[in-house]
Structure 1
Amino acid sequence: MKPRPPVTLITAAVLLSAMITIAPAAHAETPGRTFYVDAGGGSDDASGRNPRAAWATTERVNEATFRPGDRVLFRAGDTWSGNIVIDDSGRADAPIVVGAYGNGPRPRIDGSFAADAELAATVLIHNAEHVQVRDLELTNDADDQGLRNGLLVAVDEPAQPVYSGYLIDNLHIHDVAGLIVPDGNDGKRSGGIGFALDGRQHTDGSWRIGRFDKITITDNVIEHVDQTGLWLDSNLRNKELTPGTDDVYRGYTWEQVAWTGVEIGWNRILDTGKNGVIIRMADGGSFHHNEVGYTSDRVASGNSVFTVSVHRFVVEWNEVHHNLSHDAMDGAALDPDLDSPRTVWRYNYSHDNNYGLITLCTRPTDAGIEVTRNLEIGGKGRLLNINYGFTGVTFDRNALWARPVPDVEYPDTHPDYVNPDREIAGGYPQLIWETHERSGTNFEAEQTYQFTRNAFYNEAETATFYLNPNDETSRRTTNRTHRDNVFYGLWPGDGSGDPIAQGFDRRGATPPRHWIANTIGDQAYAFWRPSIEGRPNPRVGPRS
């Protein structure tokens, strides 16, 4: 893999994670059996049923057949070269558990796969359900790139309508040599943690389908992985299958393939080749209290946290920072992407990204998107990137603090690159960007949004708005409503803000002390105050 960049926060996270220890395994009665694995003192000829008769290798684990309630526990402090494959299912009241026993650092498993290997994950849960994986350290490094993951849950032969009951908890996943594809999507299924449920087509053209239910991913550290930190995906999604509707595509509906019960919280995801997080297929569910940072440095661009083919999903209470994209597209903290109707993006803290808070890469059918009570500080590009077409988006009570941007935006990572947006928009950063001159299907549908009760504080003399004039030069129409907003600092003097000027109350050069709290609310400000002041914030990231 590419050497780790010299980033102080990432180095600190590695050291902190390495010091976490595993408590001795509980001895409460369980409905299944317990198997122990000891790299130094075990034997594959042993029974595995107690620590003194432990197995030695991951190969022995993979030979075994497990029953509901069984536990496979690896000795804390030990290291294995190999991988784990769980292809047996537990039950809701008796899951199969892969974990740790003893005192010391997490058991470490170093995977190694050929670049063309299929399902190349250090821990693979394959066509199985009701499985928990916890308290392990996983790597999957190599000299070449491939579709590798630290942990992968894969259903590629669906034999039942619902696969349920997954808990991924307290893992440290790092150094995964996934697939870096600068301009394509092929590498998005490689990285730290992945979930894939793919249907199969019968010879008569019909599809064998399924969906996931009850996915919980909590308290994990994922760092220095390619290409994506955490991803969910299915080949059953399609632009013809609009989330939340009764549309029929290839003989099935959204309800039959939508994933339910997705909860992803309290994780730390740092240093990913491209996107930090990709959420697909979820109906309801949430991504909350996570830290995502230092993304998209090894490709041209990519938004840090984005959704595709989801419905009513909530992204809240996350800190998303240092997106290092270096292109004229993407680079924001958040992205309601294609087919993200009725998603909610609230109470998030975005800072120091090479774009800003959010990029809208939506479809005309995307409606009811809410962007509310978020805080954005120090974005370098399009703070609000209103990009593709959509039916309805509401921006309400967001606080955006624009700071000066140097002539070269990326001195630490790409010193020779200057984003061409500076010339197109006449300055940097762009406080609001409305795409209107690009050609193509995504850039011709109308945009309709409301912008109410938001606050800007602009300290950048070069900042501008880039608004759709809605005239003969525009390839689309932007329907905007701006009202009851406030503005502090430098209003661009080039006329770029004239079309929305009536929607802002300009209140002088310096905001009052509590302008952020007055905008996003006292609760959200109190939550984020330690982060704003550069102090550790125990409310985001792993709780252990």
Structure 2
Amino acid sequence: MKHIGVLIILASLVLQSSARDFHLDSRQGNDSNDGNTARTAWRSLEKANAFSFNPGDRLLLKRGSRFQGGLKLKLKGTAEEPIEIAAYGEGSAPFIDAKGHMAGVHLLGSHHVVVRDLEITADGGKTKDGKKDRRYGVYVQGTYGSISNVTLDNLTIYKIYPEVGSTHEGHNESTFMGTAISIEGRKEEPSSGFMVRNCRIAQTGFKAINLKHIKNVQVLDNTMKDIGGPAIQPGNVEDLVVRGNTVDGSGSSMDKRMHMRGSGIWPWSCNRVLIERNKFMHARGKGDSCGVHIDFNCRDVVVQYNLSMDNEGGFVEILGNNHNCAYRYNISVNDGSRVKGRNKAFQEGKILWTSGYVGSKRPKHGPYNSYIYNNTIYVKPGSRSCFSIASSTEGLLVANNIFHVLGKTEDVLGDQDSKLIRQGANASRLVVQNNLYFNDSILPETLPFKDQNMIIGDPRFRRAGGDDAEDYIPRNTALVKDKGIDIQKLEGDEAGLRVGLEVTEDFFGNPIVGKPDLGAVELSF
């Protein structure tokens, strides 16, 4: 028995020592080397692409190196021994110029992989592999089998444009479909366990982060700037957390190849999504283009503790067949400024919008049981603000919000195509109560609801019109403090919110003591 134990230990040590490092050095490497040390590094990405890596192996790119082409690998690590693609040495991050290639890093059917500390660009060029009208910084593809447990960390990705454009729903007739990071599983295969964190993404023709047919996903602490379309777009994703990100300029028009339309994030056909503590700013586009909008066929999407600023499409947008979704404890500043008809816009910008849209030519229905509470909404003087509540809406609670709207307001139900809503439909189970308004004319008379306990007054923000969340801390204690109501399930809604309707902390993380205050901030004075 002792000998068996010794053999097991020896076998374990052999297995642990089998993992190897392989080095790439674009300046001093040589593809005839073994790659095992910095002194015997390979030179090209092509050499790495031709190699078969084992669990625990690391492919290390030398800092300061500049590589042409792309990595295209099928990697199968294990939970105990993931395969890493990373950097070594000192200096700037290894640079991959994937001009003319499908992706800077292309992972096919891969499991337990970490990619980190790289700089990637892929700006046009004659296509050498892949589709002419698609281009990626990092592409994790499940077409050739399931994918799982891939982490993308500390990547800098920018100027992602394919060779040619293609027809899409953007501002231009042709969009150059460049995406910085795309993780795409398949319906038929389980694809679970993904993380995108600490990445810096800029100047993409289409999306910053695309997620499709995957589950158990975290998108954490990334910065996205000047994105041609939507910054983050999950489709058929389950159990997603989006936290700590900054999106500045989705729907950007800084390059004529850009999509020029897009919200900061819009989940579609997703379940159990938490979007919290992010900043969504300066979204542009002829339609949608909110900080966050919840596209159709979602369930249990909670949008909380976010700063939403100057997104011309608006603040709250919930489309059809969405169930039990919420916006709560967010701060919205000057959202919804878009005017229909200007600059090709086909939708008005809106503070609050529910729509039964579930796809072109399909009967409209829902959304169902939406909860909008304890948000702080500021709109500057001279800016028109719109509301639109679809007659297909079934279950909507709006409570404890601050609507500090200083310009004109309008009901724009006519902005929606109601032809496919069942005849005679009327929005039902609407509970609107206990909100604070700057004056008693903010809610248009034609809306299908009245506030049951309208509070009128000035919350006296610290610096109304400012660019920081702290500028929207109220100073009018008597008007705001402990004036909220406890949020209950809507009548006929057995589910409420999966994460619970009760909230224990405010936008800034302060504990909620006693009755909630109005708006997103719990006052301590």
For the aligned pair, the TM-score class normalised by the smaller chain equals 0.7 to 0.9
Rate the CA distance shift 1:377–1:272 in 2: closer, same or farther, 3 A.
Answer: same
Rate the CA distance shift 1:309–1:467 in 2: closer, same or farther, 3 A.
Answer: closer
Candidates 33, 40, 53, aligned match of 1:66: 53
Q: Secondary structure of 1:283's partner?
A: strand
Rate the CA distance shift 1:352–1:446 in 2: closer, same or farther, 3 A.
Answer: closer
Aligned residue for 1:163? 147
Which residues in structure 2 correspond to 1:503-514 (within 5 Å)?
A: 503-508=453-458, 510=460, 512-513=474-475
Aligned residue for 2:208? 229
Which residues in structure 2 correspond to 1:179-194 (within 5 Å)?
A: 179=165, 181-183=167-169, 190-194=178-182
Are 2:163 and 1:213 equivalent residues in the alignment? no
Aligned residue for 2:381? 404
Residue-by-residue CA offset, 1:418-437 (whole Å, 9 max, x unaligned): xxxxxxxxxx221x32245x
**TM-score by structure 2 length?**
0.74
Contact persistence 1:274–1:296 (CA under 8 A) = yes
What percent identity do the matched residue pairs reach?
A: 21
Are 2:302 and 1:353 equivalent residues in the alignment? no
Contact persistence 1:466–1:496 (CA under 8 A) = no
Rate the CA distance shift 1:360–1:189 in 2: closer, same or farther, 3 A.
Answer: farther
Cα root mean square deviation, aligned: 3.0
**Deviation (angstroms), 1:302:** 2.7
**Deviation (angstroms), 1:194:** 0.2
Rate the CA distance shift 1:300–1:101 in 2: closer, same or farther, 3 A.
Answer: closer
CA distance in 1, matches of 2:107, 2:46: 15
> Larger relative contact order (C-alpha < 8 A, sep ≥ 6)?
1
**Deviation (angstroms), 1:522:** 6.8
Contact persistence 1:459–1:490 (CA under 8 A) = no
**TM-score by structure 1 length?**
0.71
Candidates 267, 270, 277, aligned match of 1:307: 267
Which residues in structure 2 correspond to 1:46-195 (within 5 Å)?
A: 46-113=33-100, 120-142=102-124, 146-158=133-145, 163-178=147-162, 179=165, 181-183=167-169, 190-195=178-183
Candidates 372, 380, 395, aligned match of 1:395: 372
Contact persistence 2:435–2:451 (CA under 8 A) = no
Letter in 2 for 1:384: L
Contact persistence 2:160–2:204 (CA under 8 A) = yes
Structure 1 gaps of 5+ residues are 1-28, 115-119, 200-208, 235-258, 407-427, 437-444, 528-544
**Deviation (angstroms), 1:315:** 0.8
Aligned residue for 1:321? 281
CA distance in 2, matches of 1:301, 1:137: 26
Aligned residue for 2:324? 368
Letter in 2 for 1:106: A
Contact persistence 1:465–1:492 (CA under 8 A) = no
Residue-by-residue CA offset, 1:77-107 (whole Å, 9 max, x unaligned): 1111110012131111111100000111110
Rate the CA distance shift 1:514–1:166 in 2: closer, same or farther, 3 A.
Answer: farther
Larger radius of gyration: 2
Aligned residue for 2:404? 457
Rate the CA distance shift 1:490–1:140 in 2: closer, same or farther, 3 A.
Answer: farther
Query: Mean Cα displacement is larger for which, 129-138 or 281-290?
Result: 281-290
CA distance in 1, matches of 2:17, 2:230: 40
Structure 2 gaps of 5+ residues are 1-15, 127-131, 253-257, 338-348, 357-365, 462-473, 485-502, 511-525
Residue-by-residue CA offset, 1:233-264 (whole Å, 9 max, x unaligned): 24xxxxxxxxxxxxxxxxxxxxxxxx332111
Candidates 454, 457, 481, aligned match of 2:431: 481
**Deviation (angstroms), 1:514:** 6.1
**Deviation (angstroms), 1:198:** 3.0
CA distance in 1, matches of 2:297, 2:445: 34
Q: Secondary structure of 1:284's partner?
A: strand
Rate the CA distance shift 1:284–1:30 in 2: closer, same or farther, 3 A.
Answer: farther
Aligned residue for 1:205? none
Contact persistence 2:409–2:443 (CA under 8 A) = no
Letter in 2 for 1:195: I
Number of residue pairs aligned between Structure 1 and Structure 2:
421
CA distance in 2, matches of 1:293, 1:367: 29
Q: Secondary structure of 2:507's partner?
A: helix
Contact persistence 2:99–2:125 (CA under 8 A) = no
Rate the CA distance shift 1:514–1:269 in 2: closer, same or farther, 3 A.
Answer: farther
Q: Secondary structure of 1:464's partner?
A: strand
**Deviation (angstroms), 1:61:** 0.7
